[in-house]
Amino acid sequence: MTNRPPLLSESGPHHRSSLHLNIITYSYSYNGSYYRAHPPRSGSSQCDVAIVVSPMRRTMQTAMLALGWLVERGVKIEGNADWQENSSKPCDTGSPLSSISPSFPQVNLSSVDPLWPDKTSPSAERYWYTKKSILARGQRALDDLKKRPEKLIFVVSHAGFLRLGVAGYWFFNSDYRVFDFEAQGIKQREGTAAGGMGLSFTEPVELGLDLPEEDPGYDAEAKV
């Protein structure tokens, strides 16, 4: 799924006054031409820009298709397991880094949680397909972004996680939204109410809506 970086702003003596965050949802057929034609308007240098991506193959493909031109200019791109998709089904579970890293040499995967791609063991509770774990992961992902030094951050992640764990809005494939950080969360810019490309539903969604209390695909006793 593709979401453009939300614009985040937060006051405080030790925090920059504004932070642009673009979130992109994955798309198998995405060609990235839109983003080349509509680059960010922040005026930031390469040192002020970063790309954070879910370390799943499809999101890294999208990141390189959509934002590879920024990587070519020296913008750093790094994987972060907190931005992976919700469920523990095979289609939403990543592959070992050793099997995918050769295909994405530009992506820094050195800081990806060593638990990756585990989403079901007791030690991987932070990635379980449960309401509690997903909401906590979404908040953790946002908190990590706030701590970063860059002024503009592109996040390439998944529609389900962004909708139910982070933003509370729908994301159509290859669409994006822009948000501002507020004291108690993030607020969407009016200009992306239907997504930056106008492809997404405008209705907000309750965070955590219909997420399971226990992972439906696994025996709860196995997680004791």
**pLDDT for residue 113:** 98
**pLDDT for residue 184:** 73
Whole-model pTM? 0.83
Domain layout of the chain by residue ranges: 7-213
**What residues contact residue 165 under an 8 Å CB cut-off, 6+ apart?**
86, 134, 135, 137, 138, 141, 207, 208
Phi, psi of 91 (to 5 degrees): -70, -20
Chunked mean pLDDT (size 10), the chain, 224 residues: 35 39 55 53 68 95 91 95 96 97 98 98 97 98 90 90 96 86 81 89 96 77 49
CB 71 within 8 A of CB 50: no
User: What is the C-alpha separation between 49 and 156, in angstroms, rounded?
Assistant: 14
Q: Cβ–Cβ contacts within 10 Å for residue 33, how many?
A: 10
The alpha-carbon radius of gyration of the chain (Å, integer) is: 17
Helix %, strand %, coil % for the chain, to 5?
35, 15, 50
CATH fold of 7-213 reads: Rossmann fold (3.40.50)
